[in-house]
Amino acid sequence: MQINKVEICGVNTSELPVLKNKEMRELLVKIKNGDEECRQQFVNGNLRLVLSVIKKFNNRGENIDDLFQIGCIGLIKAIDNFDLSQNVRFSTYAVPMIIGEIRRYLRDNNPIRVSRSLKDIAYKALQVRERLTIENLKEPNVTQIAKELNMNREDVVLALDAIQDPISLFDPIYQDNGDAIYVMDQVQDKKGRDEVWIEEIALKEAVKKLNSREKLVLDLRFYKGKTQIEVADEIGISQAQVSRIEKNALKNMRKHI
């Protein structure tokens, strides 16, 4: 993919205009009043914004012209939905819209297809989760959702995982008239720290001082990733007891670390 070429979709990117924030707000007011000429001027004045966004996807192997066109769709949606009453720069609002449009395009054209049946299960599970959350004032766990759907828990987990949109380390999470902040910027590699192995030793020693039930609860909660309700169901005690055991175990470990 030639990301640095001058012409994209017949547009000479080296000659794209740049609008100042004041100019954009004046144009947006006219656009809201139905001025199509100002609308076209506004689109042209923000094509550089689209170009800056699609550069972040140059590792996907997609055609640059296709991404540029999809990005322009996101830009137009941002123009149509932008609220002038909010004290927000247009670029701050538009960048996530453009990214979202491109990510939907990449997801829908992904060679790894999710079957229709899996999608149906996942969407039903999401609807059940929303309904139970409203009814019980708390989010249900996967076991409860599966019970409502009369399905195996594993099938529900597989379906929900299948519709998750993968995130690239190079996906921008924020950009406003400056360098973008990427996912990788928020990830720290702490494996090389000298303190890590000392902390691991201290943690293991602290765990050794816990009783068997405390060890079991912490293992299920923090290593297996289960909720307190799921732990309670598994070992046959109440959720309140799980919470108390967990708090006491963590309190005792802090004394020894």
Return d(Cα 200, Cα 74) in angstroms, integer: 47
pLDDT of residue 7: 52
Q: Do 31 and 101 belong to one domain?
A: yes
Q: Which domain, by its residues, includes 49? A: 7-108
Residue 77 included in any domain: yes
Predicted local confidence at residue 170, as pLDDT: 55
Look at residue 96 in the predicted model and tell me its pLDDT.
Answer: 87
Residue 180 belongs to a domain: no
Tell me, yes or no, whether 30 lies in a domain: yes
pLDDT along the chain (257 residues), means of 10: 49 70 87 88 88 78 82 90 83 86 77 68 87 85 91 85 62 55 56 56 79 89 84 88 90 78
Structure tokens at 146: 């599966």
131 and 94 co-located in one domain: no
Q: What's the number of domains the chain is made of?
A: 3
CATH of the domain at 75: 1.20.120.1810
Residue 225 located in a structural domain: yes
Q: What's the CA gap between 225 and 95, in Å, rounded?
A: 34
11 with 102, same domain?
yes
Do residue 104 and residue 124 come from a single domain? no
pLDDT of residue 4: 45
Q: What is the CATH number of the domain that holds 247?
A: 1.10.10.10
The verdict on 19 and 74 lying in the same domain is yes
Same domain for 128 and 96? no
For residues 94 and 136, membership in a common domain is answered with: no
Note whether 148 and 93 are same-domain residues. Answer: no
Residues 79 and 158 in one domain: no
Does 147 share its domain with 200? no
Same domain, 21 and 79: yes
Position 184 scores a pLDDT of: 54
- The answer to the question of residue 19 being in a domain is yes
- In DSSP terms, 182 is beta-bridged to 172
Which residues, in sequence order, are CB contacts of 41 under 8 Å at separation 6+? 27
In a domain, 172, yes or no: no
Decide if 74 is inside a domain. Answer: yes
Same domain, 80 and 98: yes
**Residue 145: inside a domain, yes or no?**
yes
CA atoms within 13 A on the CB side of 257: 17
